[in-house]
Amino acid sequence: MTRMLIIGPPGSGKGTQAERISERLGVVAISTGDIFRANVKGETPLGVEAKTYMDNGDFVPDSVTNEMVRDRLSEEDVDAGFLLDGYPRTTAQVDYLDRILAGGQQELDVVLQLTADDQELVTRLLSRSKVTGRSDDNEAVIRHRLDLYHEQTEAVVAKYAERGILALVDGIGAVHDVTDRVMTSLENPLRASVNSGR
């Protein structure tokens, strides 16, 4: 059984790797974005509240996000393990997740962080924007999103590094190569010191 998080900057291929890891390990991948969309679509009380923030382009508050994640982690399909994508983003959310897991006498096994050079990511996302036509993929917005990522995740990553469960994996390269590095890292007990690619 594996209970893990995946963390990575915009453009690092985190979503793609989450799907591949989920298949390889036989655990369910849980994206907070998917949780938000499911609640909004289902018009749940939490979804209705979240939608007011999302429509304004604001971050959904911790209180709402935490409740959604708690509800999702109470479902039966996570009994065999899970991979969380997009949560926790703050140290307060780390503490809340700890309490959720402790309630079921569980804890995280590993936190996987995909690493990548910011300039490489900017180039990758600008290239993607030409294909997808996404209006939010201009360089100023991309760099702002990367800055937010670094601000949000630095303290979160530090917490998990202190626990000795952080695995650093170079997220740049062919998709299958990154997946191979990920799987090797998950099998290696000296996670934080190997496969950083740096």
User: Residue 124 catalytic?
Assistant: no
Q: What is the pLDDT of residues 141-177, one digit of tens each?
A: 889 889 888 888 889 999 999 999 999 999 999 999 9
Q: Considering its fold, how many domains does the chain have in total? A: 1
- In 3D space, the residue among 99, 106, 124, 103 whose CA is nearest the CA of residue 178 turns out to be 124
- Answer yes or no: is 21 within a domain: yes
Per mean pLDDT, which range of 19-33, 66-80, 123-137, 174-188 is the poorest? Answer: 123-137
Q: What is the CATH number of the domain that holds 175?
A: 3.40.50.300
pLDDT reading at 194 higher than 70: no
Given the residues 14, 20, 72, 181, select the one marked as catalytic: 14
Q: 140 — alpha (psi -120 to 50), left (phi > 0) or beta?
A: alpha
181 band by pLDDT with thresholds 50, 70 and 90: very high
Of all residues in the chain, what percent carry a pLDDT higher than 90?
56
pLDDT reading at 191 higher than 80: no
- Answer yes or no: is 91 within a domain: yes
pLDDT reading at 108 higher than 60: yes
User: Residue 89 catalytic?
Assistant: yes
Given the residues 37, 51, 70, 128, select the one marked as catalytic: 128
Given the residues 89, 124, 181, 191, select the one marked as catalytic: 89
Given the residues 24, 41, 99, 134, select the one marked as catalytic: 134
pLDDT reading at 195 higher than 60: no
Q: Residues 37-43: what's their mean pLDDT?
A: 90
For the record, the structure tokens of 17 come out as 């790797």
pLDDT reading at 188 higher than 80: no
For the record, the structure tokens of 123 come out as 């180039």
User: Residue 181 catalytic?
Assistant: no
36 band by pLDDT with thresholds 50, 70 and 90: confident
d(CA 46, CA 182): 34
Given the residues 37, 51, 70, 145, select the one marked as catalytic: 145
User: Residue 128 catalytic?
Assistant: yes
- Domain containing 134: what range? 2-193
d(CA 5, CA 17): 12
User: Residue 134 catalytic?
Assistant: yes
* pLDDT, position 134: 61
- Answer yes or no: is 198 within a domain: no
- Answer yes or no: is 164 within a domain: yes
To which H or E segment does residue 112 belong? strand 110-115
Which residue shows structure tokens 């809340």?
96
Best mean pLDDT range from 57-61, 81-85, 88-92: 81-85
Q: Residues 43-66: what's their mean pLDDT?
A: 85
* pLDDT, position 192: 46
For the record, the structure tokens of 12 come out as 């690092």
- Answer yes or no: is 96 within a domain: yes
